[in-house]
A and B are shown apart, each in its own frame.
Chain A
Amino acid sequence: MIITNIEIIPGRRVVQHLGMVQGNTVRSKHVGRDLMASFKNIFGGELVGYTELLTESREEAVDRMKQQAEAIGANAILNVRFSTSSVAAGAAELFAYGTAVILE
């Protein structure tokens, strides 16, 4: 499974387009991590816990998108975009979408 955010894959030709695939995940903050974050809010600096949390969540969203693409028989996803939105206080939705295609 090749994933890119450009419209082509260098040296490969698209045989068939299969439409859009997507994956999302909603994550909320951890109380322990939130406590650490409020300390960091005094001193400033990187919130490592949140960085990791968001990285994991994005991977999860991409995995779900991949599963969807595999289910319809694609072997690549082009033009992938990410979007983040906060649904409620303390929870964020991470969303990934792209075009599933079959490469020769």
Chain B
Amino acid sequence: MSDATPLLSVRGLAAYYGETQALHDVDLDVHRGEVVCLVGRNGAGKTTTLRSIVGLIGRRDGDIRIDGQSIQGLAPEEIARLGVAYCPEERGIFASLTVQENLLLPPVLMPGGMSVEEIHALFPNLKARSKSSGGKLSGGEQQMLAIARILRTGARLLLLDEPTEGLAPVIVKKIGETIKTLRERGFTILMVEQNFRFASHLADRFYVIEEGSSIETFAASAVATERERIETMLGI
């Protein structure tokens, strides 16, 4: 695939939870090496968008392509093998596994992932807590672990759902630095962030999701010039 093909392309995404329609029409592109952020009010459909991309939504219409390949009809484990990794809003750290077991759980699916040593260098506090049970970690440590464990798999497209939710400012700063480092290492990131100030320092582009549709997109450069309008639109 040529570099002009977006790593992720979504067209006309509609999604349903049972009878309820959660997404109506979401269009977005994420190019290789970009950090793209979905913003919008609570309940707008940002998380549902991410979950649709990794295949966790049962009923879904529209066209989603990863590196040009359609994920139509693919099971979540097959979508993962296209090089996508997901870090959910609830973090999903397994309490019955140790930190080390949590870290090593996602299998290496393709070459190019980080080694355990590199991950420990990036997250030294996780190395120190290797033998602890996953359930005993603080919120910040859980978030670090949730991000760390998907770096080994070889996936180049990372989906991060609310990586700073509920965390102290010191940890939020650390996560911001981590995301910057990941971008430098060539990862492509699509994230959902309620904390617009945090996201505005990190993302290259933004999509605004409102009532299940993508209504607007703007670049990071627009944040400085149109701050007031954007903040009003987001209800901040």
Bind each other = no
- Interface residues, chain A, with chain B CB atoms under 8 Å away: none
